């Protein structure tokens, strides 16, 4: 019996809303329940566990991912009372506490897309590393020399360090606790071939610091942003416009090599990634820029 038959939900739109907003991370399912059927939440949770035998816990996400640490507010619904799990993705294993750290299985395609571009011996700075999904996948899949992995959340750093050991990438991935701005300015200037910026809320504000960490002869930035695009406007072009202004102010030469909508976040609201090639930098040009 499938989930829909089990739940006897007749409304197709409500059922598809549950399915769209339902993540499986390791043996934990995280669901968002539409207001209209909140009274059925226990029943939905039990049905999910019956239909998917490997799921041991069902948690309800209350509200959006929020705050500087990008955390979810979770309520236990069924199964074992836990928020920690082990998640397998692309030959890697990630331990994560879903209440204390950010984690999204929906970025797996994006993580592999970036990993496939990495050339041997690259030095990479991941400015917002979380529990290490991008960094560890890159270390396992490609042959970088170093992946400096920064996060401001001490819990994310604790799991990142455990994941580095679990995946045996100790000599390649280095965890650094702190604010990406401060870490870059104090110890990671002019050394990276590639910079990852997987925190859309702060991408534009931190773009100058991505420039600071790139080598003087330039490199590549993977830039993630959120954008609201009016009807008829292309979200990718809108982000390109915003980023171009900032890079022109910084007087660096650059080229957008790729752009795509990673996911739709809400009505006319999108997460977009741009791959940007930065050519020769002149540190004097942007070091006095204000955000
Ligand atoms: C959206 S999560 C991305 C995590 C990870 N890259 C992934 O894909 O799973 C953003 C991460 O940035 C961290 N963060 C927020 N502000 C930061 C800052 N100023 N410096 C460094 N990390 C920060 C958060 O703690 C969070 O783990």
What are the pLDDT digits (tens) for 161-192? 999 999 999 999 999 999 999 999 999 999 99
Instruction: Name the packing angle between helices 133-141 and 154-166 (round to 10°).
Output: 20
List strand residue ranges (DSSP E) for the chain, in order: 22-25, 28-31, 57-66, 71-79, 84-89, 92-97, 123-126, 146-151, 173-177, 194-197, 219-228, 254-266, 269-278
Give the Cα separation of 125 and 147 in Å (integer). Answer: 6
Counting ligand 1 atoms within 8 A of each CB, the residue from 92, 103, 130 with the most, and so the one to mutate, is 130
Helix (H, G, I), strand (E, B) or coil at 121: coil
What are the pLDDT digits (tens) for 236-290? 999 999 999 999 999 999 999 999 999 998 889 999 999 999 997 666 656 655 4
Residue 65 sits at φ, ψ, to 5 deg, of: -60, 130
Give ligand 1 pocket residues (Cβ under 6 A): 68-70, 102-103, 107, 128-130, 133-134, 150-153, 156, 179-180, 198-199, 202
**Count of C-beta atoms within a 10 Å radius of residue 243:** 22
Instruction: Kindly indicate the confidence band of residue 79, based on its pLDDT and cuts at 50, 70 and 90.
Output: very high
Residue 168 sits at φ, ψ, to 5 deg, of: 55, 50
Q: Is domain 3-82 given the CATH code 3.30.300.110 in the classification?
A: yes
Query: What mean pLDDT is reported for the chain?
Result: 91
Q: What pLDDT score was predicted for residue 168?
A: 98
Closest atom of ligand 1 relative to the 128 alpha carbon: 12
Instruction: Report the sign of the C-alpha dihedral through residues 92, 93, 97, 99, in that order.
Output: positive
Fold of 102-286: Rossmann fold (3.40.50)
Residue 12 in this model has a pLDDT that exceeds 80: no
Distances (CA, A) of 277 to 148, 217, 218, 223: 20, 11, 8, 11
Q: Which segments of the chain belong to CATH 3.40.50.150?
A: 102-286
What are the pLDDT digits (tens) for 56-75? 999 999 988 888 899 989 99
Report the DSSP beta bridge partners of residue 74. Answer: 61
**Stretch 138-144: mean pLDDT, rounded?**
97
């Amino acid at each position: 019996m499938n989930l829909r038959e089990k739940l006897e939900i007749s409304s197709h739109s409500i059922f598809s809303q549950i399915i769209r907003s339902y993540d499986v991370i390791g043996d934990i399912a995280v669901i968002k329940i539409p207001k209209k059927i909140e009274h059925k939440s226990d029943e939905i949770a039990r049905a999910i566990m019956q239909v998917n035998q490997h799921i041991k816990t069902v948690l309800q996400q209350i509200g959006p991912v929020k705050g500087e640490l990008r955390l979810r507010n979770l309520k236990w619904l069924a199964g074992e009372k836990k928020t920690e799990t082990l998640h397998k993705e692309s030959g890697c294993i990630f331990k994560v506490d879903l209440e204390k750290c950010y984690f999204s299985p929906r970025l797996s395609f994006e993580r592999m897309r970036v990993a496939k571009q990495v050339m041997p011996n690259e030095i990479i700075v991941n400015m917002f590393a979380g529990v290490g999904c991008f960094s560890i996948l890159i270390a396992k899949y490609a042959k970088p020399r170093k992946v400096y992995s920064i996060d401001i959340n001490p819990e994310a750093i604790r799991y990142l360090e455990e994941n580095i050991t679990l995946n045996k990438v100790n000599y390649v991935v280095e965890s650094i606790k702190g604010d990406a701005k401060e870490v870059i300015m104090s110890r990671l200037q002019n050394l990276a071939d590639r910079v990852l910026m997987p925190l859309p809320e702060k991408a534009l504000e931190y773009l100058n610091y991505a420039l600071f960490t790139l080598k003087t002869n330039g490199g590549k930035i993977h830039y993630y942003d959120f954008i609201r695009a009016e009807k008829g406007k292309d979200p990718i072009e809108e982000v390109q416009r915003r980023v171009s202004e900032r890079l022109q102010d910084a007087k660096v030469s650059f080229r957008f090599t790729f752009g795509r909508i990673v996911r739709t976040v809400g009505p006319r609201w999108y997460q977009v990634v741009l791959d940007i090639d930065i050519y020769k930098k002149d540190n004097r040009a942007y070091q006095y820029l204000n955000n």
